[in-house]
Amino acid sequence: MSTRVTAAESTERPVSVRLKQAWPVIILAFVIAVGCQAIGSLTIDLGVGTIIIFPMVWGILLGAIVSVQKIKPLGLHLQKIANAFVGLAVMLLVARLAFSIGPSLPLLFDAGPALLVQEVGHLLGTVALALPLAVLLRMGKSTVGATFSLDREPAFAMVSEKYGPDSDQYRGVLAMYVFGTLFGAVYISLLASLLASASFFDPLALAMGAGVGSGSMMAAAAASIVAQFPAQAEQILAMAAVSNLITTVLGVYVGIYIALPLADRFYRLLTRHQVDTKHAADAATLDENRRFREAATEAAAPVKMPTWLAMSVLSAVGIATASVAATSFSWSIVGGYAVMVALILVSMFLARVSRKISAIVWATTIGALISSPWSPIGEQLTALVTSVDFLSLATVVLVSAGLSLGKDMPLLKRIGWKIIPVGLVAITASFVLATLFAEFSLGFW
């Protein structure tokens, strides 16, 4: 649920946001995040395992309700402001995770082969399981775009280049993206909680499986695993963060050269006896796909959020939420946020200078190095940053995401019901198959 590629395609100039325009979103985010953190978690015993509903899940659900309700509508511009907060909130999440990676570098080196092997599950699991289901449901050629990956941001460019932005395949990408944005974090949180409580898998294998390529989904899954294995919290967060980074980086190359061609050929094989007239690339189909894409672009048209405003707001909400999680205010929490904000600002500057390396990569690399066992200030910095409860930060991210979801509901209505079972299977396949590969690899190595 980070900034969308579809937004980048818009020809509209970003609208600059001022503090007075953002106040409704700021107040709502503060009240919902702090309130949900105060409510705490709810545990549901299912017999074979338990599901824990965390404050972050309450947060995204309450945010979504506020966003979609019609009594006092939250305007489209305010929802876009909330979405702009999400992008920088994810950066805070990355900065927090970097300080889990650094102290765990020796463990990550030992698990290196397993981290690479488990990526097979992330990158090809959706093709193996979700694609046949989509064919069975007769989703047409949109099957290829919807199931060659979990369809986060890089997928748009891959499918647009190969099939065109008005193709059925591109519509499939948009459909899966909207589904993942609306339901991905909540669903994977519940799934990870159930698997972790069932004690089938090593918690580190589950952590690797959590790195599905989406920052918000990874955070939700990792938080559920941490809740079941609190003694291994930092190692779990480190494994999940590195796995997610690998999935994001490798996903581009594997998607272009392996997953997308494989999905196309597999689809052709499974449909070789079907007569596909409904999804033929005629003028009517292309026109409908174009309208669908334009609606998505309009919903995601960006607003320009000043960095100082976003960082100030997110830090204030985050400090309050972390203080509730810790049951008391601490200056260590303030210091932890100060370190994370400084890391983000440096990373954004380096990303602008280099132009080829993203701020997320800079933040992960620098944060891991300065918090590693070989850093002279690593222990002090890590103590500050890890005083910020990870679950409380995840709550801030998902509350912001929830407040932005209303603008996606019209698209969801146009997608159709078939994307729901296909999307659930795709997320399950990516997470569970990667976990299975990781479990085997950890045992082998």
What CA–CA distance (Å, rounded) separates 222 from 165? 34
Top-confidence residue, 39 or 20: 39
Tell me the DSSP string of 369-401.
HHTSTT-TTHHHHHHHHTTS-HHHHHHHHHHHH
Residue environment code for 248-257, b if the CB has 16+ CB neighbours within 10 A, otherwise e: bebbeebbee
169, with CB counted inside 10 A (0-12, 13-18, 19+), is buried
User: In percent, how much of the chain has pLDDT > 70?
Assistant: 87
**Domain extent listing, the chain:** 5-272+281-444
pLDDT one-digit tens code per residue, 381-440: 999 999 999 889 999 999 998 898 887 777 777 777 888 999 999 999 999 999 999 888
Q: For residue 375, with 0-12 CB atoms within 10 Å meaning exposed, 13-18 middle and 19 or more buried, which class applies?
A: middle
Determine the 3-state secondary structure of 166 from DSSP: coil
Q: Look up the pTM and report it.
A: 0.79
The whole-number pLDDT of residue 342 equals: 96
Question: Following CA atoms 26, 30, 36, 209 in sequence, which dihedral angle do they give, to the nearest 10 degrees?
Answer: 60
* Predicted local confidence at residue 369, as pLDDT: 93
pLDDT, tens digit (0-9, with 9 covering 90-100), for 62-105:
999 999 888 888 887 888 888 888 888 888 988 998 999 888 88
Provide the pLDDT for residue 7: 38
Give the Cα separation of 356 and 365 in Å (integer).
15
Q: How far is CA 65 from the centre of its chain?
A: 20
Q: Which residue has the higher pLDDT, 382 or 150?
A: 382
From the list 361, 428, 126, 133, the residue with the least C-alpha distance to 255 is 126
Whether residue 237 is predicted with pLDDT greater than 70 in this model: the reply is: yes
> What rounded mean pLDDT belongs to the chain?
84
Q: How far apart are CA 10 and CA 123, in angstroms?
A: 29
Query: In whole angstroms, what is the distance from residue 36 CA to residue 392 CA?
Result: 10
CA 283 to chain centre: 35
4 confidence band (pLDDT: 50, 70, 90)? very low
**pLDDT above 90: percentage of residues in the chain:** 36
Q: Is the pLDDT of residue 6 over 80?
A: no
Residue 8: its pLDDT value, please? 38
